[in-house]
Amino acid sequence: MSSVESIKDIKERKHRNRGFCSFVKTMLLKVFLFTRYYIDILIDVIFGYFNDSKRVPIKKCTNPIILESATSLAQKIRKRELTSEEVVQAFVDRIKEVNPVLNALVDSRYEAALEDARKIDRDIANGTILDVDFQEKPFLGVPFTTKESSAVKGMSFTLGIVKRRGRRATFDADYITLIKNAGAICLGVTNIPQLNLWQETHNPLFGITNNPYNSTRNVGGSSGGEASLLAAGGTPLSIGTDIGGSVRIPAFMCGVFGHKPTSHLISTAGTTFRDGKEEQTMVVIGLLARKTVDLIPLLKVLTAEKATKLKLDEKVIVRNIKIRYIDNVNDITISPFRREMKETFNRAVKHFKEISTTPPEELNIEGTKFAGKLWKYWMSQESGVNFMKDITDRTGEANPIVDTIKHFTVGSEYTTSTIYNFINKLLPSPNEDWAIKETEKLREQLLAKLGNNGVLLYPSAPFPASYHHAAYLRPWNFHYFVIWNVLKFPVTQVPMGLNKEGLPVGIQVVAAPYQDHLCIAVAKELEKAFGGYVPPFETS
């Protein structure tokens, strides 16, 4: 009998101890988050002290053409209300106005683009181009830009790697062929971080790209040149790539829409060193737009015959979509969420509480906090690329220890962001079995909640665009983005207006694979309700 009592006592004591331990853990976590919150503020105060006076505004917009959606420009060319030459000229003029401040476009083909436009105008005028051609070429006569890490024949193709200085592409990436076949005209290519692997756009060949909302701020990466130029009105059609947020991080920081489609629908051939035959990859071709109206037409062009796998023409009744949300991911590697971001997120949730037929449901899915670890594991499984070789332009192999020491002593050809990637490689790797099981578990949990009529509202970042280089002090803040690369779910980054300092804020809208039409429909609803893209310049 006494031994039974003592077992009970032991159990109670263990229970009390567990309660105490979890109390201590919670308190320590609170202290950690509180301290981190104020360290982040201090970082901003210090960076602000050195940078605020260097801010240069971009010029106001005097030509309304540059504010139109790509779809509307295509329609006006088709109806002969505008010529392609007028449209191309408007964007060339705008790039010349804004690029000295932004440093977004790094190689241009203005004269050749104008020549392409004049040819299209002549063909339209003399009846060589008929209505049926316009249907096959939905962006006929509309300019586009893309990132410098994608091959566009004749254009710079260095990937920001010093050994590739002066290198030009001798062919078109597969998606470039598709957009050109859709009638769009390339204006040039835009800046990227070295080999695309950072959340800020900076490399030794072309320098740093500035944010049009505040030139002292980060534009994100890696499609940072694209987002910066698009937001400033320098391009109407923009295409990037996304392996860890590369379309959505810049879209968030520059206040435009960014869509990462369902994986394996668009060929990656011709992007960095890829041949499009990768068996396992998280990279996808993604699109950026100022207006949601452009997302579906552009997605149709890029997915080509695979567009039938998506339901892009299906009518979506937004109030019937099941809205789920996660606003607290409990990933302690990410900076604590600032109030303005919480408020932004809550505004979106509240909106759907008001309009949805079933109330939005908050999810608590533990695995989302492992985003960084899972992404690191799946990055190590990428086929067709080898970071340590690619960074040397495949002339050898980088040595993470030697190159890191060299970088911080005598200097190197690498950016500090590349060195961070080396250091990341040296950090312990997650266990393979654990990573595979956790990814599968997370995928199943989310699929069960999203089905074919659900979307998930998810945070983008703990705060808006920081000062240049501040990302080195909080390198894991991109974790909100990477989980959707790990799971290969489609996501739309949605701008939700500006904060008090005039910087864009926003959220991510996620759906199950092949349900891209749902994220885009919800993005359209949020654009209608909250205004979407807000130009970073005066309009007259």
H or E segment and range at residue 196: none
222 binds ligand ELD per the rule CB under 6 A: yes
| Nearest residue to ligand ELD, by Cβ distance, number only | 246
Residues numbered 301 to 340 that lie near ligand ELD (CB under 6 A) are none
Q: Which residues pair with 493 in a beta bridge?
A: 258, 508
Pick between residue 71 and residue 281 the one whose CB is nearest to ligand ELD. 281
Number of neighbouring beta carbons within 10 Å of residue 388: 15
Residues numbered 449 to 488 that lie near ligand ELD (CB under 6 A) are 475, 478
Residue 222 CB, shortest distance to ligand ELD, in Å, is 4
Residue 192 CB, shortest distance to ligand ELD, in Å, is 9
Say whether 147 is catalytic.
Answer: yes
Which among 8-16, 109-117, 196-204, 261-269 is the span making contact with ligand ELD, rule CB under 6 A? 196-204
Q: How many residues bind ligand ELD (CB under 6 A)?
A: 16
The single residue of 222, 228, 263, 335 carrying the catalytic annotation is 222
Residue 149 CB, shortest distance to ligand ELD, in Å, is 9
Pick between residue 421 and residue 499 the one whose CB is nearest to ligand ELD. 421
Amino acid at 74: A
Which x/- pattern over 424-453 shows residues binding ligand ELD (rule: CB under 6 A)? x-----------------------------
Check if the beta carbon of residue 460 is closer than 8 Å to that of residue 326: no
And the tokens for 175?
């998606």
d(CA 209, CA 227): 10
H or E segment and range at residue 361: strand 361-362
Residue ranges of E strands in 123-252: 143-147, 185-190, 202-203, 207-208, 238-242
The single residue of 69, 215, 223, 246 carrying the catalytic annotation is 246
Pick between residue 26 and residue 333 the one whose CB is nearest to ligand ELD. 333
d(CA 203, CA 193): 5
Radius of gyration of the chain (CA): 24
246 binds ligand ELD per the rule CB under 6 A: yes
Pick between residue 285 and residue 321 the one whose CB is nearest to ligand ELD. 285
Site of tokens 């509202």: 457
- Choose, by CB under 6 A, the member of 160, 245, 360, 454 that binds ligand ELD: 245
CA atoms within 13 A on the CB side of 405: 3
Check if the beta carbon of residue 495 is closer than 8 Å to that of residue 248: no
And the tokens for 540?
């007259």
Check if the beta carbon of residue 171 is closer than 8 Å to that of residue 270: yes
Which among 167-175, 182-190, 421-429, 455-463 is the span making contact with ligand ELD, rule CB under 6 A? 421-429
Over the range 282-314, which residues count as b (16 or more CB within 10 Å of their CB) and which as e?
Answer: bbbbbbbbbbbebbbbbbebbbbeebeebebee
The single residue of 72, 108, 137, 147 carrying the catalytic annotation is 147
242 binds ligand ELD per the rule CB under 6 A: yes
Pick between residue 404 and residue 515 the one whose CB is nearest to ligand ELD. 404
Residue 528 CB, shortest distance to ligand ELD, in Å, is 29
Check if the beta carbon of residue 227 is closer than 8 Å to that of residue 203: no
Pick between residue 103 and residue 196 the one whose CB is nearest to ligand ELD. 196
- Choose, by CB under 6 A, the member of 138, 212, 244, 454 that binds ligand ELD: 244
Say whether 246 is catalytic.
Answer: yes
Number of neighbouring beta carbons within 10 Å of residue 212: 28
Site of tokens 């909100």: 480
- Choose, by CB under 6 A, the member of 50, 423, 432, 452 that binds ligand ELD: 423
Q: Which residues pair with 156 in a beta bridge?
A: 168
Catalogue the active-site residues.
147, 222, 246
> Which residues bind to ligand ELD, rule: CB under 6 A?
196-199, 222, 242-246, 420-421, 423-424, 475, 478
